[in-house]
Structure 1
Amino acid sequence: MSEWTAPPPCLLVISSYRLPDGDAMSNRVLGLVRSAVVAEEAVVVNDWPSGTTRPAAGQMPAGIRLVSLDRRASSRPARLWYRYWLPVRVAFALHRAGIRRSELASVYLTLGQWSLTMWVVLRLVVRRPVIVDVMERFDPQQFRWGRFDARLLRHRWQTYLAAHLADRVIAISTELYRRFSHRRPTLVVPPQVDLSRYPPSSAPPLAGGLRLLYAGTAGPKDLLAVVVDAIRQLPAADRGRVRLTIAGMTRAQAADMSDLDPACLDGLDLQVMFLGRVSRDRVLAELARTHFAVLVRPDAGYARSGFPSKVPEALAAGCPVLLNHTGDLARYVTDGREGLVLAGPSAADVRDGLLRALTLSDGEWWEMSRAARSRAADFDFRAWTETVSKFVVGAHRDVGASQVSRVLGH
């Protein structure tokens, strides 16, 4: 009789997102979890956002056990109350699900779930290494009240706690790696994709017009106004050949949430189209028939620290990108290969990029599309399984210096 062996410890994931196919945050969590659990399993304790539809049986990827936290109240005070007691609710959920501490290898959560209370509860109840995933660093100019804005203060406090209390840190960019690596073992993991879910590009010939796409809710991060202004600056004949689709916001929402002034859209009804909030499948379909995904960001601290998930997703769809380099983007997007790199974030820079795009032949564009798809393999979660699994659920608590150096390309 063969000797019985206990199953390997699993990864505990604490989440508050629209799993499995929601926004960039849910994609980030699932990508990392799928990279981490090669032969092991993961338990995801998810605190569902309001209005979220729970996944049906079989929708979650294999190897992931989902434990849901119920939230019955919808008022703002009640939501704040439930959020404050999230660590205790997680502990009770694990107990109800019959998950013992001995079954867990480590805990993964994003910076948004990290707090002093969470650290205390995990230390007392779970007693396993905690990995905090840091995906951004906010700047005062992003908020109405500047450096005194409550959201910025909360973010800075969470960042401080991650640097001083987390056992390990996953950073989305090299800039964030530099901020944490001198205090905690830190691993750089850019946004991940599942290449098998992206259909081949079906973009039409360029003679029918240049199709551009911005997908997401811009907020204060992305410069949509300069893109629209750049289209306006094009010569009339060229302007008529450009179509920009904005998926994720209505025209009214864009005026409220982004830097777009409704007046700047006057006379551009044929050039700019708003789809409003759409499903992920619709976004993938739009990428498949788009010539360039557009992303313009200023040379600011938050842009250097972040890594827009829009870029790997566009590349995976075989859709070249039209962008300016910020943060780590220069590592993955070379001008004329995976996309067209703008000289800067101004409307004139975007206009010049559009003029270049309008001169491309179909053969040149398809060459860029193939290069984009090839580059996307660097972001596929399968390419990260060895690196992430060793860091998150491996036998050793830390990734060796050689491993981190390999990931950073040094």
Structure 2
Amino acid sequence: MPCLGLTPDHTVEFDEKIDYDEHLSSGVPFSWIQLFRELVAGERYHAAVLYNPSNALSLLLRIMTLVRDIHAALDITEWYEYDHLSSWRAKAEVFLRMNISYKLFSRMIFITEYLSRCYNPRIGKVIPPLVERPARGSSTKNMELVPLKILYAGFPGKKDRIDLLIAWINKVNFPHEIQLILAGPRADELDLSSSAQNFQIVALGPVDRETVFQLYRECHISAIIRDDARYEWAGFPTKSVEGWSLGVPVLVMSHSHFAKRAREYGAAAVIEASDPVGSLERVLWKIYLEGDYLDKMRAASFRLSRDHHQVAGYVTSMDDIVS
């Protein structure tokens, strides 16, 4: 039962290194026209899955399902925030996607339960970010705790609050050296000023995928800090799942929806919104003073990845979508 997944390079999430307003308001690229021509002309495809498609492309595929016997599905991973966009064209595009074209489909893949409720949970499957590599790794017992390394991987845009994390680390009462390693942002793209003498910010700029995996192996914990808003409730950062597969716990806000299960497993450390500096300080001291604290979180991260983020666990759900 062949299935065509339409996910060319220009289809991106918020954290890709592009002008997001320009992307949302752009036209139909030639690569998509070629793919649709193949769908129309050929008989070998039974289903097509579009990943966060534009309004025009989703409407085009919906029309094609009326012409050809093709099962069309959408893979939706975003709830778009209007205040993250500056151009009226991008805002109009987002409105049409979420309120008109996407709601014409009866087969959908949602990245979270919350996102499914924003559309229609009866017509789709919830499939979180997945990894193909098995979750396995070693203990932290041989890892040096000085410096204590925190990793952020991705491109923050307007959703990931690196600025808050930097401000909080600057204020914690923690005498040992801390490194915040940023894989993605360049130093000239952010305010990376640090007033604490023991706090170093290392901005590596864009790096390849294998380098990101190596950075996870070298760091004690990752960090994903987001505002308490619908885009956070509906989204699920892929980088957190990549980290768990390598045994790296994640530092999140207390209101984080995507990390609810991680907190239950013990694979996440929490910054309380009511006391971010104090709660972050307590996390850092626990990592430094409690010998098995990080070991337990790493073991929990491996378990979480094996139990909920492996491709093999969602084959049936995918078959249901495209059959």
Same fold (TM over 0.5): yes
**1:91 has 2:19 as partner:** no
Q: Cα–Cα, structure 1 residues 268 and 105, in superposed 2: closer, same or farther, change >3 Å?
A: farther
- Does the 8 A contact of 2:287 with 2:294 survive in 1? no
Q: How does 1:118-129 map to 2 (within 5 A)?
A: 118-119=60-61, 122-123=64-65, 126-129=68-71
SS of 1:190's equivalent in the other structure is coil
Detail structure 1 runs of 4+ shifted over 6 Å in the superposition.
Answer: none
For residues 339-378 of structure 1, what are the structure 2 equivalents within 5 Å?
339-344=268-273, 347-348=276-277, 351-377=280-306, 378=308
Code of the residue aligned with 2:83 in structure 1: it is Q
Aligned residues: 314
In the alignment, does 2:164 pair up with 1:222?
A: no
- Pairing 1:96-115 to 2, within 5 Å after superposition: 100-101=42-43, 103-115=44-56
C-alpha deviations, 1:96-145, integer Å up to 9, x for none? xxx733x3222101123453542355235543121111111112222235
The structure with the largest alpha-carbon Rg is: 1
Alpha-carbon distance in 2 for matches of 1:213, 1:365: 15
Instruction: Look up the match of 2:149.
Output: 211
Alignment partner of 1:323 is 2:261: no
TM-score, reference length from structure 2: 0.84
| 1:179 counterpart residue number | 118
Offset of residue 213 of structure 1: 0.3
- Using the TM superposition, give the Cα deviation of residue 160 of structure 1 relative to its aligned residue in structure 2, in angstroms: 2.4
Shift of residue 204, structure 1, vs aligned partner: 4.8
Structure 1, unpaired ranges of 5+: 1-8, 26-48, 51-75, 256-260, 395-410
Change (3 A) 1:330 1:89: same
Cα distance in 1, alignment partners of residues 116 and 211 from structure 2: 34
CA contact (8 A) 1:213 1:293 kept: yes
**1:166 and 2:108 correspond:** no
Matches within 5 A, 1:2-401: 9-17=1-9, 80=26, 82-83=28-29, 88-94=33-39, 100-101=42-43, 103-115=44-56, 117-119=59-61, 122-123=64-65, 126-144=68-86, 149-181=88-120, 185-196=123-134, 200=138, 204-235=142-173, 238-253=174-189, 255=190, 261-262=191-192, 264-265=193-194, 271-324=200-253, 325-334=255-264, 337-344=266-273, 347-348=276-277, 351-377=280-306, 378-389=308-319, 391-394=320-323
In structure 2, the CA distance between the partners of 1:151 and 1:90, relative to structure 1 (3 Å rule), is: same
Unaligned runs of 5+ in 2: none
Distance 1:354 1:327 in 2: 20
Q: What letter corresponds to residue 108 of structure 1 in structure 2?
A: V
**Residue 319 of structure 1, CA deviation:** 0.7
Partner Cα separation in structure 1 for residue 102 and residue 27 of structure 2: 26
Q: For the structure 1 residues 393 and 230, does the alpha-carbon distance in structure 2 shift closer, same or farther, using more than 3 Å as the test?
A: same
Contact 1:106-1:128 at 8 Å conserved across structures: yes
Any idea what SS the aligned residue of 1:208 has?
coil
Tell me the CA shift for residue 92 of structure 1. 2.6
Check 1:353–1:227 CA distance in 2 against 1; reply closer, same or farther (3 A cut). farther
Deviations 1:222-275 (A, max 9, x none): 11111111111123xx2542111000111112x2xxxxx34x435669511011
Distance 1:342 1:280 in 2: 28
Q: Which residue identity does 1:136 align to in structure 2?
A: E
For the residue of structure 2 that corresponds to 1:246, the secondary structure is strand
Q: Distance in 1 between matches of 2:232 and 2:240?
A: 13
CA displacement at 1:368 relative to structure 2: 1.5
Whole-angstrom distance in 2 between the partners of 1:239 and 1:248: 28
Compared with structure 1, are the counterparts of its residues 231 and 246 closer, same or farther at alpha carbon in structure 2 (3 Å cutoff)? same
TM-superposed deviation, 1:198 = 6.8
Classify the secondary structure of the residue corresponding to 2:74: strand
Query: In the TM superposition, what whole-angstrom CA distance separates every residue of 1:38-59 from its partner, at most 9, and x where no partner exists?
Result: xxxxxxxxxxx99xxxxxxxxx
Percent identity over the alignment? Answer: 19
| Distance change >3 Å, CA 246–CA 111, structure 1 → 2 | same
User: Partners in 1 of 2:115 and 2:68 — Cα distance?
Assistant: 27
Give 1:384 deviation, angstroms. 1.1
Give the aligned partner of residue 4 of structure 1: none
Q: Match of 1:15, as an amino acid?
A: T
Distance in 2 (alpha carbons) for counterparts of 1:343 and 1:208? 25
Is the Cα contact below 8 Å between 2:186 and 2:205 reproduced in 1?
yes
Structure 1 length-normalised TM: 0.68
1:162-204: CA deviation from partner (whole Å, max 9, x where unpaired): 443112111111111112226x611111111123387656685
> Which secondary structure state, in structure 2, belongs to the residue aligned with residue 352 of structure 1?
helix
CA separation in 1, counterparts of 2:208 and 2:276? Answer: 30
Which moved further from structure 2: 186-195 or 343-352?
343-352
Asked if the contact 2:73–2:322 (Cα under 8 Å) also holds between the matched residues in 1, the reply is no
